[in-house]
Amino acid sequence: MPDAITVSGVRRAFDDGTVALDGTTLSVERGSVAVLVGPSGCGKTTLLRILAGLDAPDAGTASVAPVAGEGAARVSIAFQEPRLLPWRSALRNVALPLELARAAKADRDDRARAMLSLVGLGGAERKLPGQLSGGMRMRVAIARALVTRPQVLLLDEPFGALDEITRHQLDDLVLRLRAELGMTVVLVTHAITEAAYMGDRVFVMAPSPGRVVRAFEPGFGMRDAALRASPRFAAVVADLMQSLAGAMLAVPAGGVRA
């Protein structure tokens, strides 16, 4: 499989002198789940924003390749918070991207409805965000990100604020949707077990300046509850935890292994 995302030597320094990213290099295979894991402030959100086109690198390149035969790559991002319009029903929130792109009304309602039932909210179409639970709101946000059929889905700690059971459910939902819709997923998290479970490839990042210090592949094929309880999963988690502990120590930028 070719790479859907290529990031090479990216540097991003903010006006106040903070170097959020420096010499960040990684690539993500099309159709895979890449996880960015690392301590707070190591530039995960900054990298995702660059991939989404919300920010630009000061040096280096970050590109999302379109699928062969198509024009520009379609990239969707779901933020750490659901960011729903409080006065719109779940259905009309999901339809928003299509509405802004001026799709025909009947068409966009159909597609939004289909997407809502795909995330398991078939019965909640007419509910307002205030009437939904936190996990349901996040599902609506993901349905909205998916309704344009993106080739790349960027998720910034989407389930960080949720309880662990809901988070497991939604993680499985993302894996299922990835398989059904055939997208590339980049997931940002600072939960180590989530990183180990979700990643086809896990990039461990370190702060000041933000960079990738390790890339590895847990190599799990099927993910299910049994995997979470297995010793090989525990081994990967322990391994990751050690890398992260190392990442917390201020390693000079020269010592990057990516």
Partner 1 sequence: MSRTAASSRLRTALAAAVPPCAVLVACVCAWQAAVWVFRPGEYLLPSPIQVAQEAWDSRATLARAAWLTGLSAAGGFAIAACTGVLAGSVLAASRFLMRGLYPIATLLQMVPLVAIAPLLVVWCGYGWRTSVASAAIVSVFPVLASTLDGMRGTDRGLVELFGTLRAGRVQRWWKLELPWAIPSIVTGLRVAAGLSVIGAIVGEFVGAFAGNASPVGIVILSALREHRTELVFAAVLTAAVVGFVLFGLVSALGWVALRRWHASVG
Residues within the interface to partner 1 (CB under 8 A): 52-54, 76-77, 79, 81, 83, 85-87, 96-97, 99-101, 128-131
Asked if 228 touches ligand ATP (CB under 6 A), the answer is no
Q: Which of residues 14-43 bind ligand ATP (CB under 6 A)?
A: 14, 16, 18, 20, 40-43
Closer of 32 and 45 to Mg ion (Cβ): 45
Sheet holding 75-78, edge to edge: 75-78, 152-156, 184-189, 33-37, 201-206, 211-216
User: Which residue, 43 or 129, is less far from ligand ATP as judged by CB?
Assistant: 43
Encoded tokens for 90: 């779940």
Tokens representing residue 162 in the block: 């949720």
Of 180-199, binders to ligand ATP (CB under 6 A) are 190
Q: How far is the CB of 77 from partner 1 (least distance, A)?
A: 6
In one letter, which amino acid is 199?
A: G
For residue 121, the SS3 value is coil
Q: Is the peptide bond before 209 cis (omega within 30 degrees of 0)?
A: yes
Sign of CA dihedral 130, 134, 135, 137: positive
Selected range binding Mg ion among 39-47, 163-171, 176-184, 250-258, rule: CB under 5 A: 39-47
> Binding residues for ligand ATP, per CB under 6 A?
14, 16, 18, 20, 40-46, 190, 210
